[in-house]
Structure 1
């Protein structure tokens, strides 16, 4: 069975706000686990959901898995996307449509949040975190801290 994946997100008027969805689609494509991975937006950006479904169906898929990349359940997850799915099912009865869960409250999200907190606190404490990504910079920073501690004890 040939399966296509459609990631769907809200969309933004700012193109930079939409880049993340395309990057996630690229990451999933790189896994080589599905026949096709596409990105679509609910509003404010292109491509729209119906356009991406049409394109995906034209590749000959038998099944489309729709994955809402929305953090929490709201109108889009409960109402808008299911209504859009019903419209697409009527247009393409030969294709099985599967609606995946949204991201939701997941321990992996908490871990990402913890990483972001750690990053910003390191950056605030030491200045640019880019310095700390270089091994020699880490050594230099360590000696600077030790020197400051020795000066305090003198």
Structure 2
């Protein structure tokens, strides 16, 4: 086991079509690059993407991997546009399972990314750009 470290576990729904995961994989890689640019190679090494269903790894497997890598604090970030049933019901149950399976790790659940002002603005900017391709986004 490596020394104590923090991790980030991105959590997405999953789909049968493997192409569906591409934007989430790109987001995980961009997050790793951001950690590296900030000089935090340890965090970059402890960023994982997990899925609720249809795809691997699932949340328990990705969480176990981070715990075995020596993470003592992991933030779980739901990559959901809204806090529907999966975020409000399934995810808290999975968080409890993670805590019970790995009691030496502090598991913190963040808000869903779709609830952040940053993503809401990005959605509006993207919609504007798609509807008005000749006009720049302000």
Settle same-fold status: TM greater than 0.5: yes
Q: 5, 12, 37: which one pairs with 2:47? A: 37
Higher helix share: 1
- Alignment pair present for 1:109 and 2:119: yes
**Higher relative contact order, chain-length normalized (CA < 8 Å, sep 6+):** 2
Q: Higher Cα Rg: structure 1 or 2?
A: 1
Q: Which residue of 2 aligns with 1:8?
A: 11
Question: What TM-score does the superposition give when structure 1 sets the normalisation length?
Answer: 0.73
Q: Which residue of 1 aligns with 2:70?
A: 60
- Alignment pair present for 1:86 and 2:106: no
Structure 1 runs of 4+ with >3 Å offset: 104-107
Question: What TM-score does the superposition give when structure 2 sets the normalisation length?
Answer: 0.81
Q: Structure 1 residues 62, 14: CA separation in 2 closer, same or farther (over 3 Å shift)?
A: same
- Name structure 2 gaps, 5 residues minimum: none
Q: Deviations over 1:8-45 (max 9, x none)?
A: 01001111101111111111111124621100000111
Q: 21, 24, 27: which one pairs with 1:24? A: 27
- Name structure 1 gaps, 5 residues minimum: 127-154
Q: Secondary structure at the match of 2:89?
A: helix
